[in-house]
Structure 1
Amino acid sequence: MSDPTSTHRSLHDRHADVLPDWLSLYYDRPLELTHGEGRHVWDADGNRYLDFFGGILTTMTAHALPEVTKAVSEQAGRIIHTSTLYLSRPMVELAERIAALSGIPDARVFFTTSGTEANDAALLLATSYRRSNQILAMRNSYHGRSFTTVGITGNRSWSPTSLSPLQTLYLHGGIRHSGPFAHLSDAEFVDACVADLRDMLNQTSRGVAALIAEPVQGVGGFTAPPDGLYAAFREVLREHGILWISDEVQTGWGRTGDHFWGWQAHGGSGAPDMLTFAKGIGNGMAIGGVVARAEVMNCLDANSISTFGGSPVTMAAANANLAYLLEHDLQGNARRVGGLLIERLRAATAGLDSVRDVRGRGLMIGIELTDAATAGLVLEAARERGLLIGKGGLDGNVLRIAPPLSLTVAEAEEGAALLEAALHQAPPQPSRPSRTPQPAREV
């Protein structure tokens, strides 16, 4: 009798037998990735791929970065777990660094194990501080898979229930190229969105707790408003005492190139009251967190701990990863190589009927296609050529490109050429009748 673990197909069968059917897998023949190095990964069959998605924007610096693996190994050899009931030097050191980098005055940092948990904690702080369960969120947004974060997610494909402990009010502005204000100039677009915000606040029954917004909508297809929108929103929020939470789970740590945090593109009236982070800072280790003004962070009047948030091993990994990112100016590399990559992709897609838009900042680039079926075909064709990319957007028709921030010029050129070939292989698909969206299947 053959070993049931010996074939790729049997692993897929075993996955289906014991894991939820809504836990999606990419590709018709799902990949088992076994190891990585730099910007490349290998599957169980020995095939090598250029990684342009980084485990959903999470492998931020590089696969198997020696500085991170060494830090993890050394810390694991000392002690793996303590909890927040005890002092932790790695946790304090990382909190000091992040507080200083955040731009938030008198900042406090609380560590979690994911972006979902970070946003959940930020919502707890905001609703407790403001004594209100009303939250402003953006249309087409995504903030996580917990009960509360699903309740503030404005993308129908990622919101499996309408039940929520929060009353969420959705605003215009997250998508520049569609919706009722798409035809306006950038300045007029901002003015119209601010007027929409004022009108929304005039109609609420009680004080709103906070606005939570992604500076660039990640799962939503790397869409963004004109620079300055959230600064303009901030002025209105201040008039009402409403907090601003910047969801930096995907945009933080220099990925957008021009700025270390996504909110900084909006300048104006200063830092948000809170920002949330996760993904890239751990380079694959499970870490997230909230940075908030001390007044907001300390508003809870009950005891709390985190069993796994601030784990010594994840803190050691994040400290080493952040040090590498800063010392090697990976933000600058994202700006330079990302700028080259997006121009290369725009040239490669010019004249293709299947491509509606190429957009992005730094190493956070989206290619919007005509339909989801075409996006699926391109995803498969890119994999066949040795390139891994992601997919998102309201209708699942946006290719998401977010490689590690250490991407080289040669690798950017190689990836662009592979993606160009994949796009030419997959023509637009015939339009199909609309149907009820299926449960979320990506992040």
Structure 2
Amino acid sequence: MSGLYERHRAVSPEWLALYYRHPVELTHGEGRYVWDADGNRYLDFFGGILTTMTAHALPEVTKAVAEQAGRIIHSSTLYLNRPMVELAERIAALSGIPDARVFFTTSGTEANDTALLLATAYRGSNQILAMRNSYHGRSFSTVSITGNQAWSPTSLSPLQTLYVHGGVRSRGPYAELSDERFIEACVADLEDLLGHTRVPAALIAEPVQGVGGFTSPPDGLFAAFRQVLDRHGVLWISDEVQTGWGRTGDHFWGWQAHAEHGPPDILTFAKGIGNGMSVGGVVARAEVMNCLDANSISTFGGSPVTMAASLANLSYLLERDLQGNARRVGGLLIERLRSVAAASPAVREVRGRGLMIGIELVRPGTDEADPEAAAAVLEAARAGGLLIGKGGGHHTSVLRIAPPLTLTVAEAEEGAAILADALHAAA
């Protein structure tokens, strides 16, 4: 492995992050497990950053990919594409957005970039509201609206971004308030902000902040925001790149926890829909989607092969109620992890919903983030046969747990036991 690592370093940017002191090469996977080049097996609790959503080497998906690749791999959006139309029809119906139109991209970054283009063109404004601690991608426009310093490498921007309170429930100036008062304070902050600026094009928000450490506001915050946004003519973009397709267990989309005033104007998705294939997209009501007055295509968005994979994966997760499995098994896993955390003074909070769980680590006896402890637990978990992620604001002190949605109770118990040992070893 050291030889491949040295080759990687010789040709890759220094800012291209790798996990672990001795990086691992994953060679194959099956179900919820993956193997490295040395033959070690790991229980995968991160799924390629929430992208292998259903299972590794899922037969239904691999079969669909092989069959489509045997017919035609690529054509571009300049030609009619049956798998793309069929998937767009299904996503439009599932989105909850009336008169929905769907545009496919190759990533979540590109999907959010497209959403920003639509919103700014529709509203004639280059101002964007975003949430503090947020992450929306690595393009020039999306890093400029990312409210997380660790993932925003430049202050230069084509947009003027204003940041709103509310994405992090247990930290910040409103942390000690009740949920009801927290929402009231965040709404008041939004109203005050809008009173001191030109009307923005849109608010973009993750219902659960992914890179930010799986933080989320109380249910109903974005419904309360929506009343203010509608009054000012500001669009709502829900970034569902990590929350979509039932991962939170309680809902198919993250926005549905805030559904009192209906769906967002624009919804973005990516990651899990292709179960590892490069798929992203945007859903918007027709009036917004059709506002562009110039030609546009996507060379690789909507590729027949990625669409075939996504159709097979979507059918699999709906027919087997993987949202329900995320709710049931995820609920058990969260409770098990909270029991484990009770014995560790380094754990500040175990949070999340469904199979989207964060464990925030601090220096014992303080509220101070402890990124060194998070790195140590990541290493110890790998040594024990478990792959997890990390994130959480500038200090990267949150363990991110997001297994494939087919996770079994036995595998949840196995992973929790490894994490318990890893927390103990790191301490």
TM range (shorter): over 0.9
* Structure 2: distance between partners of 1:410 and 1:351: 22
Q: Secondary structure at the match of 1:405?
A: coil
Q: Secondary structure at the match of 2:55?
A: coil
Q: Which letter does structure 2 place at the counterpart of 1:351?
A: A
* Structure 2: distance between partners of 1:63 and 1:183: 42
Q: Which letter does structure 2 place at the counterpart of 1:283?
A: N
* Structure 1: distance between partners of 2:71 and 2:275: 21
Q: Secondary structure at the match of 1:211?
A: strand
Residue 403 (structure 1) aligns with:
403
Aligned-pair distance for 1:140? 0.2
Counterpart of 1:362 (choices 348, 354, 370) is 354
* Structure 2: distance between partners of 1:38 and 1:352: 31
Q: Deviations over 1:166-197 (max 9, x none)?
A: 00000000000011111111000000000000
Q: Which letter does structure 2 place at the counterpart of 1:397?
A: S
Residue 382 (structure 1) aligns with:
381
Q: Secondary structure at the match of 1:419?
A: helix
Is the aligned partner of 1:143 residue 2:145?
no
Q: Which letter does structure 2 place at the counterpart of 1:426?
A: A
Q: Deviations over 1:279-336 (max 9, x none)?
A: 0001000000000000000000000000000000000000000000000100000000
* Structure 2: distance between partners of 1:418 and 1:253: 27
Residue 256 (structure 2) aligns with:
264
Counterpart of 1:77 (choices 65, 70, 77) is 70
Q: Deviations over 1:242-278 (max 9, x none)?
A: 1000000000000000000000011210000010000
* Structure 2: distance between partners of 1:69 and 1:263: 31
What aligned pairs does 1:183-332 form with structure 2 within 5 A after superposition?
183-204=176-197, 206-332=198-324
* Structure 2: distance between partners of 1:257 and 1:87: 35
Residue 425 (structure 1) aligns with:
425
Residue 124 (structure 2) aligns with:
131
Which consecutive unaligned segments of at least 5 residues does structure 2 have? 363-369
Q: Which letter does structure 1 place at the counterpart of 2:360?
A: E
Residue 94 (structure 1) aligns with:
87
* Structure 2: distance between partners of 1:12 and 1:167: 40
Is the aligned partner of 1:108 residue 2:101?
yes
Aligned-pair distance for 1:349? 1.1
Aligned-pair distance for 1:353? 1.1
Q: Which letter does structure 2 place at the counterpart of 1:163?
A: L
RMSD value, Cα: 0.4
Residue 117 (structure 1) aligns with:
110
Q: Which letter does structure 2 place at the counterpart of 1:195?
A: A
Counterpart of 2:35 (choices 42, 45, 54) is 42
Residue 416 (structure 2) aligns with:
416
Q: Secondary structure at the match of 1:125?
A: helix
TM-score under structure 1 normalisation? 0.94
Aligned-pair distance for 1:86? 0.1
Residue 170 (structure 2) aligns with:
177
Q: Which letter does structure 1 place at the counterpart of 2:339?
A: A
Is the aligned partner of 1:342 residue 2:334?
yes
Q: Which letter does structure 1 place at the counterpart of 2:113?
A: D
* Structure 2: distance between partners of 1:335 and 1:48: 26
Q: Deviations over 1:360-381 (max 9, x none)?
A: 1000000000100000000000
Aligned-pair distance for 1:401? 0.2
Aligned-pair distance for 1:351? 3.1
Q: Secondary structure at the match of 2:418?
A: helix
Which consecutive unaligned segments of at least 5 residues does structure 1 have? 1-7, 428-443
Q: Secondary structure at the match of 1:410?
A: helix
Give the 4+ runs in structure 1 shifted more than 2 A. Answer: none
Residue 367 (structure 2) aligns with:
none
- Alignment identity in percent? 80
What aligned pairs does 1:424-443 form with structure 2 within 5 A after superposition?
424-427=424-427
* Structure 2: distance between partners of 1:182 and 1:377: 28
Residue 435 (structure 1) aligns with:
none
* Structure 2: distance between partners of 1:38 and 1:127: 42
* Structure 1: distance between partners of 2:176 and 2:341: 24
Q: Secondary structure at the match of 1:96?
A: helix
Q: Deviations over 1:368-395 (max 9, x none)?
A: 0010000000000000010000000011
Q: Which letter does structure 2 place at the counterpart of 1:257?
A: G
* Structure 2: distance between partners of 1:50 and 1:406: 13
Is the aligned partner of 1:33 residue 2:26?
yes
Aligned-pair distance for 1:128? 0.1
Residue 433 (structure 1) aligns with:
none
Q: Secondary structure at the match of 1:35?
A: strand
* Structure 2: distance between partners of 1:191 and 1:31: 46
Q: Secondary structure at the match of 1:366?
A: strand
Aligned-pair distance for 1:107? 0.2
Residue 13 (structure 2) aligns with:
20
Q: Secondary structure at the match of 1:267?
A: helix
Q: Which letter does structure 2 place at the counterpart of 1:200?
A: L
